[in-house]
Amino acid sequence: MSSTPNASPEVMFQNEEGYPVDEDSLREAVTTVLDMHDALDAGLSIVITTNEAVQELNLQYRDIDAPTDVLSFSAEQLPPELADDEGRYLGDLVIAYPYASQQAVRLKHPVRESFMLLVVHGTLHLLGYDHDTLENRAIMWDAQEKALNTLGIDTRIVPTLEEDHHV
Binding residues for Zn(2+): 121, 125, 131
**Cα–Cα distance, 90 to 12 (Å, whole number):** 12
Could you give the CA distance from residue 26 to residue 74 in angstroms, rounded to a whole number?
Answer: 18
Helix (H) or strand (E) holding 89: strand 88-96
State how far the Cα of 25 lies from the Cα of 30, in Å rounded to an integer. Answer: 9
51, 99 contact by CB (below 8 A): yes
Residue 155 to residue 146: CA distance in whole angstroms: 9
CB neighbours of residue 91 within 10 Å: 22
- Residue ranges for the binding site? 121, 125, 131
Is residue 123 a contact partner of residue 11, using CB atoms and an 8 Å limit?
A: no
Do the Cβ atoms of 144 and 29 come closer than 8 Å? no
